[in-house]
Amino acid sequence: MLKHILIVEDEAAIREMIALAVSRAGMKPVHAADVRAAQEAIATKVPDLILLDWMLPGVSGIDYARRLRRDDLTRNVPVIMLTARGEENDKVSGLDAGVDDYVVKPFSARELVARIKAVLRRSQGDGEDGNVELGGVRIDGPAHRVFADDKPVAIGPTEYRLLYFFMTHPDRVYSRGQLLDHVWGGNVYVEERTVDVHIRRLRKTLEPFGKENLVQTVRGAGYRFSAIA
- Kindly list the residues in this chain that would bind Ca ion in the complex (CB under 5 A): 10, 53, 55
Could you tell me the smallest distance in angstroms from the CB atom of residue 10 to Ca ion? 5
**Exposure of 13 in the CB half-sphere (CA atoms within 13 A):** 1
Instruction: Measure the CA–CA gap between 168 and 174, rounded to whole angstroms.
Output: 13
Could you tell me the smallest distance in angstroms from the CB atom of residue 156 to Ca ion? 43
Instruction: Measure the CA–CA gap between 111 and 80, rounded to whole angstroms.
Output: 12
Nearer to Ca ion, 59 or 218 (CB): 59
List of long-range contacts for 188-194, beta carbons under 8 Å, 24+ apart = none
Nearer to Ca ion, 29 or 222 (CB): 29
* CA 17, 23, 25, 30 torsion-angle sign: positive
DSSP code of 66? H
Nearest to 107 by CA among 115, 99, 95: 115
Could you tell me the smallest distance in angstroms from the CB atom of residue 56 to Ca ion? 6
Instruction: Measure the CA–CA gap between 57 and 37, rounded to whole angstroms.
Output: 12
Nearer to Ca ion, 105 or 204 (CB): 105
Could you tell me the smallest distance in angstroms from the CB atom of residue 51 to Ca ion? 12
Closest residue to Ca ion, judged by C-beta, is 55
Could you tell me the smallest distance in angstroms from the CB atom of residue 149 to Ca ion? 52
Within 8 A by CB and 6+ apart from 34, the residues are 8, 10, 56, 57, 58
Could you tell me the smallest distance in angstroms from the CB atom of residue 20 to Ca ion? 18
DSSP code of 126? S
Question: Would you say 130 and 101 are in contact if contact means Cβ atoms under 8 Å apart?
Answer: no
